[in-house]
Structure 1
């Protein structure tokens, strides 16, 4: 029986077929109405820790953007990922006792979307979409990995005032980075088969059925300030313990005084997790500030994913790799919560950019030290579409539940 998610994907394809059957006077098939784009990203990755791992992968992406009428457009995006050294890393789809590097192989319909512009300010959309809300802390594509997280959804976007907007999406399915082949049951050959009774852990499932509502508003009516507000009602069938209802507000400031740049942000949200801690609100804080001069920029930040009676704040739809260190130690918030004290230094000199970060991780409930991490990105902008990136992450554990680990990624990115 088809799921709600598969129905949402079938709808845009059916709409295009119906529109294509209309008289030629209503649609134009000129090639200039269709835009084709190719992007790719080869990557090698290495993990050194209690167990070592290495991975090689290549992402090929084809985009087809079509404007059928002034008010109607479609997007089709197909990804193909090829893997090397498959026996030398786990990836969420397959486990072999090696550390997880979550790049999976295969062909994937990454996006299939129909957009209808009901007016200059109102846009309706339905299908499979790569959704990034704000800084992606709560909803994002996790696009560092070769297989993105996309959402089967229906929704709208409304522009108002001079530069503000509000969007709403109903989500029926999350297509996660583990890929469609990461189903409910593990292969008997998987190293995790016995300890999980043959069932794949919920965080590694390739699909999560949802009954989720995402409401996000952004206000950009000021020269130096931006305000974002969001309400997220996330209901996940396969991982009900991660279901939550969150309400939050984020403020960002960027200013300049002569050659000195200043930046600051403050964010607060509270969350209820009805399946694990009903009736109790769990808090989230993110406060940071910094300044820049010429090629340099330095900032300090404190992020707290709070804890209440053994239940912590979670963000299951986030671009998780982008937060709390690039070694991915805290993809699931510890039961005691998480405080991430970090300092960032960025240096830019075309075509080079160096991004360094130092993290100190503690529990929120009792200030237990989890560990420290040093991260660095070295990137070279070869052209407007091409970037060479070296990423290094070094985590040093202070708690017996964690282990020292180093991760290195080297990749070339074209048109992604």
Structure 2
């Protein structure tokens, strides 16, 4: 009997070891297949930029080439990985510009925020299954059309974040997002990266007449001081048909508290727009107000893709203490296989002071065209007419891009 029991035990252990070995072999094969069956990609952008300003800085010009090399593995039980390297080089010696945070030509030329650099742009582990997508590591994060959380992809060194992000879609209409950021990797190579303790919450629901979104962005730099910047808001964006015309509409409101050890400010944000699409033309009228607390501090969006808002000349990358009101008109359409855009901005202070009231105006023009799915080219121009101490600024961009 003892011999029989020992035989059964030996068979059981042998079976378990074989099953374990088989399982490990299958897993190893799955991981190997995921690594070898992934997708590599290359994205290159060659861009010329010039800046002319009516101040003491010399006119700036830059010809830079950005290269993104990425590899995304296949999936194993819902897990995958992405690695992306980013490099920017000055081409043909065309580097007459200033990048303040890096010390490049400091104080000599007007600013073009494209430093030479090589760094890890993204590197994260992803899990995706049953409506959940989670990423851990360095990654691109965008929310709300980049107004509050963006990747600043217009610059050659785009903004990424180190942290955790989770998106959950329990239904086709409802999406819930949460992210924790412990480092903000900004657009100046590593010269101006910031440690952080940021919490981002965003929930959106698609209705029959538009998309309703509520959000809370609780930002804090991890530098041993009290510096919370908390924003709570709600937005609604939608469209409806009126015969052959498509009517566009959007409304948004947010409140923000800015607290330090010695200060406590409160500001408001309002964004309203109405537009129409007819015979291939899109026309919009917009009103955006980044409010002020009695002229002491303005509503801030430090993680936004700021170039997308308040004029392409980037005069208002930081909101004036008096706040900013931007009344704008946009007309866009198609021509010769590409897309053109004309924008006009009229700027003023939210709470005028003795020295700051009218903040100038700006005209923005662009034309972008894609050639099959691999190549693109564009030209873009911004002309800002200054007031209240802001200097006249002209900027021009010409670029070609390729991605494979």
380-389 vs 235-244, which deviates more?
235-244
Residue 140 of structure 1 and its aligned partner are, at CA, apart by 0.2
Looking at CA atoms only, which structure, 1 or 2, has the larger radius of gyration? 2
Deviation at 1:385, TM superposition (A): 3.4
Counterpart contact for 1:33–1:68, Cα < 8 Å:
no
Shift of 1:127: 0.2
Q: Which of 94, 113, 119 is matched with 1:102 structurally?
A: 113
Q: Could you state the TM-score of these two structures normalised by the residue count of structure 2?
A: 0.87
Counterpart selection for 1:69 from 76, 86, 89? 76
**Aligned with 1:25: secondary structure?**
helix
Instruction: Give unmatched runs, 5+ long, in structure 2.
Output: 1-22
Distance in 2 between residues matched to 1:241 and 1:395, nearest whole Å: 36
TM-score normalised to structure 1 length: 0.84
Q: Give the number of equivalent residue pairs.
A: 368
Aligned to 2:98: 90
**How far apart in 1 are the matches of 2:71 and 2:261?**
43
CA contact (8 A) 2:155 2:187 kept: yes
> Which of these residues, 336, 343, 360, is aligned with residue 322 of structure 2?
336
Residue from 190, 196, 219 that aligns with 1:210: 196
Q: Which residue of 2 aligns with 1:284?
A: 269
The equivalent residue for 1:415 is 403
Q: 1:243 to 1:42 in 2, by over 3 A?
A: farther
Match of 2:393 among 405, 410, 413: 405
Residue of 380, 385, 388 corresponding to 2:377: 388
Q: Aligned equivalents of 1:63 and 1:224: distance in 2?
A: 38
Shift of 1:243: 4.0
How far 1:279 sits from its partner (Å)?
4.5
SS at match of 1:177: coil
Judge conservation of contact 1:276–1:311 (CA < 8 Å) in 2: no
CA separation of 1:161/1:374 partners in 2, compared to 1, >3 Å: closer, same or farther?
same
Decide whether the 8 Å contact of 1:35 with 1:66 is kept in 2. Answer: yes
Q: 1:238 to 1:55 in 2, by over 3 A?
A: farther
Once residues 284 and 99 of structure 2 are traced to their aligned partners in structure 1, the CA distance between those partners, rounded to angstroms, is: 34
2:147 aligned partner: 137
Judged with a 3 Å threshold, the aligned counterparts in structure 2 of structure 1 residues 335 and 277 are, in CA distance, closer, same or farther, namely: farther
1:56 matched residue in structure 2 = 63
Q: Do the aligned partners of 2:127 and 2:133 also contact (CA within 8 Å) in 1? A: yes
| Contact 1:89 1:96 survives alignment (8 Å) | no
Report the equivalent of 2:302: 316
The Cα RMSD (Å) is 2.0
Q: 1:100 to 1:227 in 2, by over 3 A?
A: same
Unaligned ranges ≥5, structure 1: 1-21, 183-204
Q: 1:269-299: CA deviations, max 9, x gaps?
A: 0000002885542100000001011221111
Secondary structure at 1:321 match in 2 = helix
Once the two structures are superposed, what CA deviation does each residue of 1:359-379 show, in whole Å capped at 9, x if it has no partner? Answer: 011000028101110001111
Alignment of 1:23-34 (within 5 A): 23-26=24-27, 27-30=30-33, 33-34=37-38
Q: Which residue of 2 aligns with 1:246?
A: 231
What corresponds to 1:347 in structure 2?
333
